[in-house]
Amino acid sequence: MAAVPEVGTAPSGAGPAGGVPAPVDLRPPSWWKRKGYTRRDTVAAFIFLAPSLIHFMIFILGLVVASLVISTWQWDLLTPPHEVGLHNYATMFFHDPLFWTSLKATLYFVLLTIPTGIILSLALAMAVNTKLRGIVIFRTAYFIPVVSSMVAVAVVWRWVFNNDFGILNWFLGLFGVHKIDWLGNPVTAMPAIALMSVWKGLGFTMTLFLAGLQGIPQHLYEAAELDGAGRWKQFVHVTWPLLTPTTFFVSVISIIGSFNVFDAVYLMTQGGPGNSTTVYNFYLFNQAFRYFHMGYAAAMAWILFLIIAALSFLQFRFLNRRVQYELG
């Protein structure tokens, strides 16, 4: 949607007037020069940028570099660290089955939440994308979970999933389904957490889709209707293609969010029963703050970063091509 800056447009009236023509710099000048800024301006800009730049250097870049260094240490915070090279990474891959268990659990969580989240939030966005009076109330209602505290939400959902008194089992009981111990059974615990997470995040992705939907010009639907397209055809040929930038964005941020799942597990199951809900970040947290293996936890964090970076790269590489940013 955003217009691409016109990189490469040659400057007009290049070269000084008269005499031997000076060698022409064929490189396009940066937008900074084109706008006529001077060195003085550059200095001023950096002075204004300094607070956030310094903050970024110390609190983000500095810590990122520090964590890379720490990941080559064996360090419990209490005794001096030992340099162990890539030992932490080797242990993770070859000697720690729980690392793989937690990675699998996380992938399972991602698979459970991403498609359901996207489909449901798109459906919801389309449902609330009407001009009915009072529709704002519905939109707000769906957004409330997003801004609610995870702690409060988790307490409520623990009751929803309660075996004896839970509303979910009561509801299923109406259809003759036997009681399910949602959070106490290794088979159902992860789907239960996924369900809650989808519910919690639905309002946010719905809002993104809603913005996308409202950006689609009405006349396209009118044209499609004139061509005899029904509602389904309109969705397939107008809505879906024009929503691709939104869908792409939603899928990228949802995958990152899902890989980072922690609080729901911490609050609802503590990784159990067994290790069925021990997701990556929960295990990482335990390594760092329960077992005080700071080096190992830092190494785990880097692996997670690489996984997410690789996935995002793949998404940009393959999905981005199919994204239709402008009306074509």
Partner 1 sequence: MIRRSRAVRLSVAVLAMGLIGAACSGSSGGSKTSSTGTITVAEPSDNPGDIQARKQLADQFMKLHPDISVKILVIPAEGYDQKVLTLIAGGKPPDLFVSGDVQIPNMVSKNYAYNLDTFAKKGNFDLSKLYPQIIQGLTFNGNLAGLTDNWDTQVMYYNKSMFQQAGVSPPTASWTWQDFQSAAQQLTQGSGTQKQYGAVFDPWFAPLYSTIWSYGGNITSADGKTCEINQPPAIQAIDFILNLYKQGLSPSPQAMSQQGQGAEQIFLSGRAAMMIGSGRWAAYDLQSVKRFQWAMAPLPKGPAGRANFFHLSMFAIAHNSQHPQAAWQFLKYMLSKNGIETTIGNAQGLPSIPSLVKDPAFANSALVKQHDTVKPMLQSLPTVHRAPNIVAFNEFQDKLDAVMDGVWSGKQDPKTALDAFCKSVGPLLQNGSAAGA
Local structure of 73: helix, strand or coil: strand
Cis-peptide, bond into residue 273, ω within 30° of zero: yes
Q: Which is nearer to partner 1, 238 or 300 (CB)?
A: 300
Q: How far is the CB of 54 from partner 1 (least distance, A)?
A: 15
Q: How far is the CB of 288 from partner 1 (least distance, A)?
A: 8
Q: How far is the CB of 64 from partner 1 (least distance, A)?
A: 11
- Comparing CA positions, the residue from 5, 200, 174 lying closest to residue 113 is 200
Q: How far is the CB of 239 from partner 1 (least distance, A)?
A: 32
- Strands, E, within the chain: which ranges? 73-74, 82-83
Q: How far is the CB of 63 from partner 1 (least distance, A)?
A: 6
Question: Tokens 């064929």 identify what position?
Answer: 26
Q: Which is nearer to partner 1, 46 or 159 (CB)?
A: 159
Contact indicator for 227, 220 with CB cutoff of 8 Å = no
- Comparing CA positions, the residue from 200, 201, 213, 197 lying closest to residue 247 is 213
Q: Which is nearer to partner 1, 249 or 262 (CB)?
A: 262
Q: Which two tokens stand for residue 34?
A: 């084109």
For residues 126 and 209, what is the distance between their CA atoms, to the nearest angstrom? 8
State residue 31 phi and psi, 5-degree precision. -60, -25
Q: How far is the CB of 202 from partner 1 (least distance, A)?
A: 17
Interface residues toward partner 1, by CB under 8 A = 59, 63, 66-67, 74-79, 84, 87-88, 91-92, 95-98, 149-151, 162-165, 179, 181, 183-184, 186, 260, 262-263, 266, 271-275, 278, 281, 285-297, 299
Q: Which is nearer to partner 1, 212 or 271 (CB)?
A: 271
CA-angle at 220, arms to 251 and 243, nearest 5°: 0
Q: Which is nearer to partner 1, 161 or 248 (CB)?
A: 161
State residue 36 phi and psi, 5-degree precision. 85, 25
Q: Which is nearer to partner 1, 92 or 125 (CB)?
A: 92
Q: How far is the CB of 270 from partner 1 (least distance, A)?
A: 9
For residues 234 and 220, what is the distance between their CA atoms, to the nearest angstrom? 9
- Comparing CA positions, the residue from 210, 207, 231 lying closest to residue 221 is 231
Q: How far is the CB of 36 from partner 1 (least distance, A)?
A: 40
**Distances from the Cα of 314 to the Cα of 302, 311, 319, angstroms:** 18, 5, 8
Contact indicator for 110, 258 with CB cutoff of 8 Å = yes
Q: Which is nearer to partner 1, 241 or 273 (CB)?
A: 273
Q: Which is nearer to partner 1, 142 or 266 (CB)?
A: 266
